[in-house]
Amino acid sequence: MSSPGYLGLVIMLCLLALFYLRLKCLYVLFVYGFFQNTALPFLYTSFGASRSLIASLLIFKEILLLAVFVYCIFLWHRDVQQPWPKPVYILLLFTSYCVLRGVIGLLLGDDPWVSFWKMRLVCLPLQFLVIAITVARTQPEFARKFLKQMTYLLVFLAIVGILMFLLPPSDFWLSHANIADYGLDVRGDDPIMYAESTGTTGTATGREAFASLSSLRAFGTFGDPLAMGFALSSPFLLLAFIYRKRWFTVPLLTILAVAVFATFDRSVWIFLFIVGLIVLFRRREYKWLIGFASVPVVLLLTVPPLAEFAKSEFDELSWTNPGTEHAEGITMFYQRAFTDPGNILGKGMNDSVRKFPESGYAFLLEHFGLAAYLTWLWFLFSMYRYLNLTNSGKDYLLLPKAMLLATLVVMHFSQYPFNYVGWIPIWYLFGLSVAVASTAVSRARIPLNSLAGQNPKSLPESGHA
């Protein structure tokens, strides 16, 4: 079957899934996203699946996501019949501008495939936020149920990730699921993104300080340690701060902590640490706060490889002479990015325009321009302020607010929030939180009889740390 034939089949499957599953297509979007980056390379390497088939399967979730997004807009206008929460309009402005800038870049000669993927990245937050808000406002019980199910699914995938980190031989990926060949042949990515000698992504290469544990970082079914780390951060935080504590909570948190540690992803560690500090401080749980803040100190004093790793990273962080790309993203971005005239309107979608490859803010500024950078910050602060509007007296919105503040920090390291696999659990949680706040605001502004049947409890009640 030709490539257009496969593509037509994929589109038909997406439409059938939407027709029969409706909002339950979330199961497909999440599960497919969590397995795609290893399942497709496995089919390509071990079973010799054709490039056209794998390429069509690659965009399956993109087509289904777009279909569910359009369906949710229809549902909102049919069932909710209220204005969207204010942050959605700001995010729509950000997305519309970025897409317009991408189209202009295409007209000026930017690479079409690269431009498509850049625009796909910046569209993801709007798509998933709209879907999550709509699910929470129209089917709140299903929204809560789905959140819990995805939490436990991710715990299971954390176990799988640990086993895949410890058990497979060093040539497993090269021989059975060559992610590098898949990325170069099917996705058309830049070769610099992959380690062809191991058949993995370049980010999966092991940390030198932890070479005794493994030659690779843990990436599990997610295909990339960065995606795995951020995907697991959401269930970790929910189990730690939202769900009521049961006998199995601590074992599950331990599993997630080990899996996140095995990714050796500094950005995820920082993200979790910032969120934990903010939540415990705002709840005035000072004993837990001191204990939580002491964990990194104890680990640095008792785990020599970790201390060596931290020292090497700290030594590279210099305001005048940063030694790594991450350090450049933190320091040199603020020194030089705003003095480059090309960043006013952006320099196009091609990767060659980037001077600061490890900064999410530079990603927006250099590709799309100053307007994208400013509207993105406006959106994040607007969403934080919107979550403060609820007067419910509960603290279950404290966690997403802390996660928003941590997002502002980790954006200095890369464009993580635009990653599908790693951030869809986080965007789903953000969307549910905005829905809770919007329901509270609606109840304050609209007569109660017009809100009959609406249930604001899209999030579970908060437990104790």
Q: Read off the pLDDT of residues 383-419 as tens digits, 9 standing for 90 and up.
A: 999 998 765 445 678 999 999 999 999 998 889 999 9
pTM over 0.85: yes
Domain that holds residue 256: 3-451
Q: In Å, what is the CA distance from 45 to each residue of 164, 183, 190, 421?
A: 18, 12, 19, 22
349 found inside a domain: yes
Percent of the residues in the chain that have a pLDDT greater than 90, as a whole number: 70
Residue 108 CA, chain-centre distance (Å), reads: 31
Q: Which two tokens stand for residue 214?
A: 């493994």
Given this model, what pLDDT does residue 459 score?
A: 64
Residue of 308, 207, 348 lying closest to 264 (CA atoms): 207
The C-alpha atoms of residue 403 and residue 216 are separated, in whole angstroms, by 28
The verdict on residue 462 lying in a domain is: no
Cα–Cα distance for residue pair 398/242, rounded to 1 Å? 10
Closest CA relative to residue 42, chosen from 252, 213, 221, 201: 221
Distances (CA, A) of 417 to 122, 184, 411: 9, 24, 8
Side-chain half-sphere CA neighbours of 262 within 13 A: 25
Tell me if 213 is assigned to some domain. yes
**DSSP code at position 32:** H
Q: Which of 291, 160, 310 is nearest to 220 (CA)?
A: 160
In a domain, 458, yes or no: no
pLDDT (tens digit, 9 = 90+) per residue, 64-107?
Answer: 999 999 999 999 999 999 999 999 999 999 999 999 999 999 99
Residue at 344 is within a domain:
yes
Q: Does 283 have pLDDT greater than 70?
A: yes
Q: Which residues pair with 195 in a beta bridge?
A: 200
Q: Which residues are within 8 A (CB) of 310 and not within 5 positions of it... i.e. 6 or more apart?
A: 300
Q: Looking at 139-171, list the stretches that DSSP marks H as alpha helix, in order from N- to C-terminal side.
A: 140-166
Q: What is the pLDDT of residues 307-362, one digit of tens each?
A: 777 776 666 665 556 656 666 667 778 888 888 999 999 999 998 898 887 889 99
> Using an 8 Å Cβ cutoff, are 228 and 218 in contact?
yes
Count of domains for the chain = 1
| 199 φ, ψ (degrees, to nearest 5) | 75, 25
In a domain, 460, yes or no: no
Q: Tell me, what DSSP letter sits at residue 359?
A: -
Is residue 465 in some structural domain? no
Tokens of 463: 């437990």
Domain membership flag for residue 37: yes
Return mean pLDDT, the chain: 88
